Structure 1
Amino acid sequence: MLLNQDEVRQPYESFHGWFKDQDAHELASKANEAETFFRRTGITFNVYGQQEAAERLIPFDMVPRIMAKNEWDKLAEGIEQRVEALNLFLHDIYHDQEVVKAGILPARLLEDNDAFLPQMIGFTPPGKVYTHIIGTDIVRTGEDQFYVLEDNARTPSGVSYMIENRETMMQMFPELFAQNRVRPVETYPHHLRRSLEAVAPPMCEGKPRVAVLTPGIFNSAYFEHSFLADQMGVELIEGSDVAEIDGRIQMRTTEGYVPIDVIYRRIDDAFLDPRAFNPESMLGIPGIMDAYKRGAVTIANAPGTGISDDKAIYSYMPEIVEFFTGKPAMLENVPTWRCAEEDSLRYVLDNLADLVVKEVHGSGGYGMLVGPTSTKAECEAFAKKLKEDPQNYIAQPTLALSTVPILAKDKLSPRHVDLRPFVLVSDKVRIIPGGLTRVALKEGSLVVNSSQGGGTKDTWVLRD
């Protein structure tokens, strides 16, 4: 918000002037009002592996993160380039593998990788789109440089919080939206449905019928599944609600079975089809992969897209982007050491106390070591895991992440953040102007994941 003690950054000028006129106690009561709203709406997430308070409210901070139009436009251009390259990359690795033949990507990163699905080799999804919904995690350093932290191209979550954060802010502080020209994010469900309908399968006749496939109420993101289905005006289904009939995936209704054309699945690949993948899965739809390959249904995101979430493959993304677009990557990666490489492993082991080490397939802030905040014993224990299975890890420097203000008691206080913009890909690329800002509510913490104590805030992109 501030360039120095007396100078306010331009995007925050209006908000800063408004905040100075507010009563701190009244703002604190507004924070309680927001929590009541979330509780009444049922905006929760589940925390696995913890018996106490397994279902929680995600903490919400009422101070918006504000971005100027020129900042956002530059970021959006880089994101669009990256998601276009991701789709071209996925098509290539399941067909000719030119990226491997050209020496850009080592073949070993595809071989014996559980996220690479042989069932997708030679098959092209409708519209040649693999990643219909992408949540790209972006961090900004103190030097004002954007970096891609990771690509979430499998089943990215968090968009419901982006929308509910905006709705809460508009209800509590309508005057702020009268004073600031903020671009909308609440149109996301409309754009999502249009985007999904645009990739209907060849067998679709008439207006495509869309459904959201959920694992059920015990999934950590179940609120989001039901929220998006409701907002799009489509059915929320579980595997037991549908069956393969006459070569189509059909949903049971009071009037009999009706075909579904596009399924927005929120189930991991392994559980999607017990005939094709895990035979013990009770969550998926038997025969959906056969129907998919016959052109009877579109699955979004396509099976096999999780390979692009692999953090070892992430480390090659700048080269992958340039290989497929013919232009240098506009958005840089965070510098990354691949522990599978002997020299990199040696460096990581020698510098564990200064690095962040992550599992190649890890997510949600689990299975990682944040060196600067870890004890000597924790570093030694992690070093042992690294030596036992180096291919399972990558390491990155501890970045000086940018901060934004939160309301801490009765004053503003800086906290570290990241940003997850949401991108829709079908007949065109649609980037929602804003995204989910995740904030580390603990002073000095760099971990923003809600499952690890982080919170969220509304993200404003100004029109001018």
Structure 2
Amino acid sequence: MREPDGTVRPAYADFAELLDDLSIESLVTKQAAAEELFRRLGITFAVYAEGGSTERLIPFDLIPRILAQSEWELVQRGCVQRVKAINIFLYDIYHDQEIIKAGLVPPEFVLLNPAYRPEMHGVEPPNKVYAHIAGIDLVRTGESDFFVLEDNVRTPSGVSYVLENREIMMRLFPDAFAGQSISPVGNYPERLLENLRAVAPGGAESPVVVLLTPGRYNSAYFEHVFLAEQMGVELVEGGDLFVRDGYVWMRTTEGPVKVDVIYRRVDDTFMDPLAFNPQSALGIPGLLSVIRSGRVALANALGTGVADDKAMYCYVPRMIEFYLGEHAILNNVLTYMLRDPKQRQHVFNNLHNLVVKEVQGSGGYGMLIGPASTAEEREAYKLRVMQNPENYIAQPTLALSTAPTLIDGEIVPRHVDLRPFVLSGKETSVIPGGLTRVALVKDSLVVNSSQGGGTKDTWVLERG
């Protein structure tokens, strides 16, 4: 919010004035009102470490993160560039594999990747889009230095918090929205639906779109219900859909209805028990054959997980240069591959300064944050890595930017990241702002909600 000399940054000028006119007591009252609204709306997530059905309110901080238009343009261009390259890469690895032939990506990183789906080889998705919805996790380390931490292109979540956070902020601070021009985010469901309809097979005029959820025990179930309601589409579980005559159908009280597009929030392995996990009760038997015949579109497509593998992340700048002929706008974090003995030894020698992650991990689980760990934890983690070094990467801990946060009646700095959401259909676009996640514990760098992090509204100021 402030420059190093203590002056308020221009983007925050109006909100800083508004804060000056409010007492801490009134801010605490607004915070309590926000929490009550979240509780009433049922905005929750489940914590798997506590049994999978423990519902928690996601902590919300009412001091927004504010970006000037020039800052946002850099982020927006970088995210669009990145997702375009990832979509071309996914099309390539399931067709001609030019990037592998060019020697720019090791073949085993693709072909032996657990997320690679050979069943998708040769499949032609509409508009050649695999990742229809992507979440790009960014951290800021300097004035114009944004680093990508990871690309989420399987089933990225969190956009419901972006929309609900904005709704609550407009109730709590109506004057702030009246006094300055803040880019709206409320049209996300319409834009998402438009993108989903754009990839319907055969250019159906009024395509039927459904949102497939694993059910109410999933950590993001609130979001599944919310998005289906906002888009005006049916929320379905695997048992609501079936395959017949080469098409996917939805059971309704008025008889079967043909489905054109499935926005799925179910992992690959559970999508079709005939093709993948035979024990799955979450998917639709025979779905893969309908996808392969081009009679239903799946968003995101099967096999997209290759591109958000944390080892594959290292090669995204090469993808951008190879497919787009451009340099990456957003930086990658220096990443060590623990499968390589030399890099592994370097990481082990410097474990106290590094973050180690599982390549297929998510939600902040299974990580070691070196600076916050004990010698015993580091030794135990080394043994874990040695059992399967290919499963781990390491990165230096970055000096994440901080944002003002209301904690226990005080405004204090806390570390934040940013997840913009990128939509791909006929075109690729980014929702202004995105999800700002905040580490609520002093000096902590872990922002994941599953690890106790919270969220903020993200404001992008429009010109003028």
**TM-score computed with the length of structure 2 as normaliser:** 0.98
* Runs of 5+ consecutive residues of structure 1 not aligned to the other structure: none
Per-residue deviation, 1:143: 5.5
Matched with 1:421 is 420
Q: Amino acid of the residue matched to residue 426 of structure 2?
A: D
For 2:341, the equivalent position in structure 1 comes to 342
Tell me which moved more, 107-116 or 150-159: 107-116
Partner of 2:442: 443
TM-superposed CA distance for 1:228, in Å, is 0.2
Q: Distance in 2 between matches of 1:305 and 1:52?
A: 25
CA–CA distance in structure 1, aligned partners of residues 200 and 295 of structure 2: 9
Distance 2:187 2:250 in 1: 27
Residue identity matched to 1:60: F
The aligned runs of 1:329-408 (5 Å cut-off) are 329-408=328-407
Alignment-derived partner of residue 242 in structure 1: 241
2:183 maps to which residue?
A: 183
- Give 1:94 deviation, angstroms: 0.8
The answer for the alignment partner of 1:146 in structure 2 is 146
Deviation track 1:195-247 (CA, whole Å, cap 9, x = no partner) reads: 10001112x64311110000001111000001000000000000111111222
Q: What is aligned with 1:192? A: 192
Task: Name the aligned partner's letter for residue 195 of structure 1.
Answer: N
Counterpart residue number, 1:98: 98
Aligned-pair identity in percent equals 56
Shift of 1:259: 0.4
Aligned residue number for residue 55 of structure 1 = 55
* SS in structure 2 at match of 1:277: coil
How far, CA to CA, are the matches of 1:52 and 1:433 in structure 2? 32
Q: Secondary structure at the match of 1:386?
A: helix
Per the alignment, in what secondary structure is the counterpart of residue 423 of structure 2?
Answer: strand
- Residue 43 of structure 2 aligns with an amino acid whose one-letter code is I
For residue 182 of structure 1, give the secondary structure of its aligned residue in structure 2: coil
* Cα distance in structure 1, aligned partners of 2:187 and 2:165: 14
- How many residues matched? 463
Tell me which residue corresponds to 1:286: 285
Contact 2:94 2:123 in 1 (8 A): yes
What does residue 134 of structure 2 align with? Answer: 134
- For residue 5 of structure 1, report the CA deviation from its aligned partner: 5.4
| 2:160 corresponds to | 160
Q: Distance in 1 between matches of 2:143 and 2:72?
A: 17
Tell me: CA distance 1:451–1:95, structure 2 relative to 1, closer, same or farther (3 Å). same
Code of the aligned partner of 2:274: R
Write out per-residue CA displacement over residues 61-96 of structure 1, whole angstroms, 9 at most, x where no aligned residue: 000000000000111111111110000000111111
Cα drift, residue 172 of structure 1: 1.1
Contact 2:52 2:219 in 1 (8 A): no
Distance in 1 (alpha carbons) for counterparts of 2:304 and 2:397 = 28
Amino acid in the other structure paired with 2:232: G
Question: C-alpha distance in 1, partners of 2:409/2:49?
Answer: 34
Offset, 1:146:
0.2
Cα separation, 2, equivalents of 1:268 and 1:101: 29
CA–CA distance in structure 2, aligned partners of residues 447 and 14 of structure 1: 30
Greater shift in the superposed pair: 280-289 or 137-146: 137-146
State the shift of 1:435 in Å: 0.2
1:206 aligned to 2:185?
no
Deviates more, 1:229-238 or 1:284-293: 284-293
**Cα displacement string for residues 311-341 of structure 1 (whole angstroms, at most 9, x for unaligned residues):** 1110111112111111111111011011111
Partner of 1:320: 319
Call closer, same or farther: CA 1:146–1:24 in 2, change over 3 Å: same
Gaps of 5+ in 2: none
The Cα shift of 1:113 comes to 1.7
Shifted more, 299-308 versus 46-55: the winner is 46-55
Q: CA deviation at 1:144?
A: 4.2
Question: What is the CA-CA distance between 1:101 and the residue it aligns to?
Answer: 1.0
Q: Which moved more, 1:94-103 or 1:356-365?
A: 94-103
**Greater CA deviation, 99-108 or 432-441?**
99-108
Q: Could you say what the CA RMSD is over the residues aligned between the two structures, in angstroms? A: 1.2
Provide the TM-score with structure 1 as the length reference. Answer: 0.98
The whole-number CA distance in structure 1 between the counterparts of 2:182 and 2:121 is 44
Query: Which residue identity is paired with 1:104?
Result: L
Contact 2:124-2:294 at 8 Å conserved across structures:
no
**Displacement of 1:384:** 1.2
Could you say which residue in structure 2 is the equivalent of 1:217?
216
**Aligned partners of 1:216 and 1:352: how far apart in 2?**
39
Structure 1 residues 336 and 52: alpha-carbon distance in aligned structure 2, compared to 1, 3 A threshold: closer
* SS at structure 1 position matched to 2:36: helix
Distance 2:386 2:288 in 1: 38
Distance 1:187 1:280, change over 3 A: same
What is the alpha-carbon distance in structure 2 between the residues aligned to residue 330 and residue 114 of structure 1?
Answer: 29
Partner Cα distance (1:179, 1:353) in 2: 47
Aligned-partner Cα distance in 2 for 1:8–1:143: 14
1:170 maps to: 170
Mapped to 1, the partners of 2:375 and 2:396 lie a distance apart of 18
User: What is the identity, as a one-letter code, of the residue corresponding to 2:387?
Assistant: E
**Equivalents in 2 of 1:51, 1:76: separation in Å?**
38
Say if 1:444 and 1:62 are closer, same or farther in 2 by CA, change over 3 A.
same
1:4 Cα deviation (Å)?
3.5
